[in-house]
Structure 1
Amino acid sequence: MEKLLPRFLEYVTIDTQSDPYSKTTPSTEKQWDLAKKLVLELHQIGMQEVSIDENAYIMATLPSNTDKKVPIIGFISHFDTSPDFTAKNVKPQVVKNYDGKDIMLNKGKNIVLSPDYFEDLHQYKGQTLITTDGTTLLGADDKAGIAEIITAMEYLVQHPEIKHGEIRIAFTPDEEIGRGAHKFDVKKFGAAWAYTMDGSQMGELEFENFNAASAKIQIEGKSVHPGYAKNKMVNAIGIANEFLGLLPSREVPECTTDREGFFHVHRIKGEIEKAEIELIIRDHDEGHFEARKQLLQDITEKLQKKYGDYITLRIEDQYRNMHEKIVPVFHIVEIAQEAMESVGVEPIVKPIRGGTDGSQLSFMGLPCPNIFAGGHNFHGKYEYIPLESMQKAVEVIVKICELTAVQIK
């Protein structure tokens, strides 16, 4: 466990931000910097069959140390970080014995991490927190998961008295832009099931996630001198604004929770002759999800009737709710629950308000619930993670390996 913190701190200082507009895999060349380091480290801790392919997907094996026939299981995390906020020159700060008060992240810029706003901080009084310096994200999503998996594997190598079956691990690029599983070789991985270590606070255990799609609305306009524009000008900006006004105003991320779905407009640009809207659609319920996509189609057709064929809509499905693939093999969730309870962690079973590699992998034949990595406030300057939560994640991984060897017949 003593290597867990320095391992994590080293990982987060390596910029691995992904790029949704890139067509390559990985989407950014800099992701290779950490990927190559991880391959060397896996060799160093004694993992076998360590490989990295042309797309930077890393896999490795911890061989079974029991004569009992045990299913091969896996653990997966991603090494890219979100494009939502800068990840260049990450300078993590370690706050020991947190006193429960405001944390000054950056005195010069007066950036404060406060429990008055982020109430979860209250539960970590007395613990060691790793924070940003207020100018970048931290990257605990999901470099914490990688550090935890490697530390757990190292522990099992050093403690052969803990009996386990064959364990497979994988680290992937581009999860943050929805492509983490796109080139994942499930057959090569060879596990009966796996767990992504990509959740938030300690105890989270998730086997439901959003159904997800992206949408792009393109609007063509006609620019005419405004003094002579009557019945001639077609203002693409105005039509874009009208389109947005027809979306349900309260069905947005900042107004929804639990299993409530939403539309999220994340990019808009325009001028009179051309405007473009990009948004994402999310809903746990498949029927509601399809209805959301139909609403976009209905709005498009309504505005086409009003303005003509100046508007086009393109919708692309991204991933689906893994629930239907997990329920038939629910014992894999029960093993994770028991592992948490046996190391003193209370399971928090809830739906993911997002997606993980596991949601796509489950539909590719690899059932893959999601387990906490321990962090909070991902994708921004207020991101932090308690060291104690990371330590518990390591213990959970080790216990899952042990329980699988004991329980599965």
Structure 2
Amino acid sequence: MNFKFTVAGRFIRYVTIDTQSDPTSDTCPSTLKQKNLGTALVTELHAAGLQDAHIDEYGYVYATIPSNSDKSNIPVICFCSHMDTAPDCSGYGVKPLIHKNYQGQDIVLPDDPSQIIRLSDHPDLKNQIGNDIITASGTTLLGADNKAGVAEIMDACHQLMNHPEIKHGKIRILFTPDEEIGRGVDKVDIKKLGAYAGYTMDGESAGNMENETFSADGAKLVINGISSHPGFAKGKMQSAIKIAGQIIDALPYELSPEGTENMQGFVHPVGISGHVETAEIEFIIRDFDEDKLKQHADVIRKIADEVLKKFPGCSYELKVHEQYRNMKKVLDQHPQIVEYGMEAMRRAGLDARLCSIRGGTDGSRLSFMGLPCPNIFAGEHAFHSKQEWVSIQDMQKAVETILHLCMIWEEKT
């Protein structure tokens, strides 16, 4: 297919709009500035001819590309990406830079020369020789996670509306806020969406499709110590903060994110707060095997029991709550959704690979809400960091993949 791609220009526009989400906020979206991008997207969708495009009160963008096929029974499919960027690294004042015709050299980011993107640290760069790489300038993240996916879906909308020879059924578009803080589909209206299958565009290397994610729990350990005036504390004070420190120190390295890889799960303390009398440790617990989540939580309990033996009179409580589950359980019941995605990537000239992701996507939860939803590559790399990068050519291949998917669903119905 020969297209005049618009994806790079769209992406460069979108990343300059700050959409960082905030885990400490109770609102939806967690930051109102996410609506700035959502409103801009609605304007562009209207200009492209998607007449029903709108942003709702929670910051979700919905739109429809009508069917142009004579077939009336084509399942409705949805393409989804998230608009927010991670709280881990600033997304304000992003200055995107294009490094044309990459030849394997180190990329030194000019606003902070200590930020160097090296081929040795980013192995996928070996597949980018001759391509055009977009980075930030060194003081912010880029926002390819997930504005690359947003730009790819928007370019695909443009192509579908301008190339009626591409036959397709009804296509639904969904852009979500707050994915980076685990709330990306909290307010999605599945009934309004009305789709049979979905595809998130939020993956890494070109040709990758992910049909399996972690299952995830969150846990809060509350430690009750014994407070006393520090001047008269001998034999009396039992500090909850120090107890918390000993519990964290006792966590096994082989069950930590930095000590695991591939299909191994982990227990990860992500926050600690408190004072002498009470302290709290926040954990995330991850594994591809749902049953192992309970075993990982038991590790925390056993360590807490052992540490508390040294502090008579103190106690703890561990509360575990579900966050999301491995979407493979749902996708295995709908094999054609993944099969069509793999075929679309092959038609785009890619070496299609089925992968697992050590994380979650909006599709993890959408799959259990009634919308089976694997994750397709968007080309984003080194996400959540100042060294984040994406290749223009990979984004173009993602657009082609979307277009082929639309055609495949029409052809095979």
TM over 0.5: yes
What's 2:272 paired with?
Answer: 268
Question: CA 1:304–1:142 in structure 2 vs 1: closer, same or farther (change >3 Å)?
Answer: same
- Determine whether 1:129 maps to 2:120: no
Residue identity matched to 1:382: Q
- Determine whether 1:116 maps to 2:120: yes
Identical aligned residues as a percent: 50
Residue identity matched to 2:10: R
Greater CA drift, 221-230 or 283-292? 221-230
Q: What count of residue pairs does the alignment treat as equivalent?
A: 408
Deviation at 1:99, TM superposition (A): 1.9
- Determine whether 1:33 maps to 2:36: yes
Q: What is the aligned-residue RMSD (CA, Å)?
A: 1.6
* Counterpart-to-counterpart distance in 2, 1:116 and 1:74: 37
Deviation at 1:259, TM superposition (A): 1.0
Q: TM-score if structure 2 supplies the norm length?
A: 0.95
Q: TM-score if structure 1 supplies the norm length?
A: 0.96
- Determine whether 1:232 maps to 2:214: no
What's 1:325 paired with?
Answer: 330
* Counterpart-to-counterpart distance in 2, 1:160 and 1:34: 28
- Determine whether 1:256 maps to 2:267: no
What's 1:6 paired with?
Answer: 9
Q: Is the 8 A contact 2:179 2:185 kept in 1?
A: yes
* Counterpart-to-counterpart distance in 2, 1:305 and 1:316: 26
What's 2:372 paired with?
Answer: 367
Deviation at 1:135, TM superposition (A): 0.8
Alignment deviations for residues 315-363 of structure 1 (CA, whole Å, 9 cap, x no partner): 2210000111000111110001111111111112111111011010100
Alignment deviations for residues 79-122 of structure 1 (CA, whole Å, 9 cap, x no partner): 01111111111111110011211111136543211112222222
* Counterpart-to-counterpart distance in 2, 1:235 and 1:84: 30
* Counterpart-to-counterpart distance in 2, 1:329 and 1:107: 48
Deviation at 1:397, TM superposition (A): 0.1
Alignment deviations for residues 55-74 of structure 1 (CA, whole Å, 9 cap, x no partner): 01111110001111211111
* Counterpart-to-counterpart distance in 1, 2:223 and 2:263: 32
What's 2:67 paired with?
Answer: 64
The secondary structure found in structure 1 opposite 2:158 is helix
What's 2:20 paired with?
Answer: 17
Alignment deviations for residues 250-271 of structure 1 (CA, whole Å, 9 cap, x no partner): 2222221111101122223454
Deviation at 1:246, TM superposition (A): 3.0
The secondary structure found in structure 2 opposite 1:351 is strand
Q: Say which of 92, 96, 110 aligns to 1:92.
A: 96
What's 1:49 paired with?
Answer: 52
Q: Is the 8 A contact 1:300 1:312 kept in 2?
A: no
* Counterpart-to-counterpart distance in 2, 1:353 and 1:321: 10
* Counterpart-to-counterpart distance in 1, 2:97 and 2:161: 30
Q: Say which of 213, 217, 223 aligns to 1:213.
A: 217
Which 5+ residue runs of structure 2 have no aligned equivalent?
none
What's 1:101 paired with?
Answer: 105
Q: Is the 8 A contact 2:243 2:308 kept in 1?
A: no
What's 1:171 paired with?
Answer: 175
What's 2:186 paired with?
Answer: 182
Greater CA drift, 344-353 or 367-376? 344-353
Deviation at 1:274, TM superposition (A): 3.9
Alignment deviations for residues 284-341 of structure 1 (CA, whole Å, 9 cap, x no partner): 0111112112222333444455533442322221000011100011111000111111
Greater CA drift, 38-47 or 104-113? 104-113
* Counterpart-to-counterpart distance in 1, 2:280 and 2:96: 37
Q: Write out aligned runs for 1:366-405 (5 A).
A: 366-405=371-410
